[in-house]
Amino acid sequence: MEYTVKDVAAMVDHTNLKAYATREDFQKLCDEARAYGFKSVAINTYPVGMCREMLEGSGVLTGAAVGFPLGQMTIEAKVAEAEDAVKNGCQEFDYVCNVGKVKEHDFDYLEREMAALVAVARRSGICCKVIFETCYLTEEEIVSLAQVASRVKPDFVKTSTGFGTAGATAEHVALMKRHAGPDVQVKAAGGIRSWAAAKAMIDAGATRLGTSSGIRIIEEMKAEGLK
């Protein structure tokens, strides 16, 4: 399959989730996203309103990370954070599932959690992505959680926060794609720092990439002569 620079840029969620990020850092992030035509900026919930203003008129979405990075919050707390992010102007959000509940195989709980967060997105007409944190999960657990997603139908399932012990793998992307169903897309995130890594994720079925190396990826594509 052939890839254009514009198509790949439009898959990138340009990311800054650092605890010490400042207004200057967010301005830089938004300016870069605008210049490169990235899909969104991926940020914590505090700077949502600020980044929405910075991106006004650009076509770049303001995304928020909810329950980030551990997911060890009550469903009610995640819903409240998501609703607050929506109120402040987020146009999509990624939330971290309760990974402990996955390890307990409490998929009824996880389905309730997913349904509650997806409901926030549906009420607001925006996109919801569910972060699995695959580095902590067995293949069987990934499959079972993807099957929950196939029923609840979030917009995306996502591999990783980038804060775990490992990030995305092409194998996990393909596994999630296979079991989440035709209505759910896959976002790969964590450790995607080159065009080769990004291409592997896209080839495996990812349609969105979470990375702080989007500029490097695009410049490597251009260096290869891709248009």
Residues with catalytic roles: 94, 158, 187
User: Which whole-number Å values give the CA distances from 38 to 8, 48, 158, 208, 214, in the listed order?
Assistant: 8, 17, 18, 10, 8
92: β partners: 63, 127
Cβ contact 146:183 at 8 Å: no
Tell me how far apart the alpha carbons of residues 223 and 227 are, in angstroms, rounded to a whole number.
10
Q: One-letter amino acid identity for 47?
A: P
Cβ contact 129:165 at 8 Å: no
| Best CA proximity match to 47, nearest among 31, 29, 60, 32 | 29
Joined together, the tokens standing for residue 30 give 């938004």
Q: Strands (DSSP E) along the chain, which ranges?
A: 12-15, 40-44, 61-66, 92-96, 127-131, 156-158, 185-189, 206-211
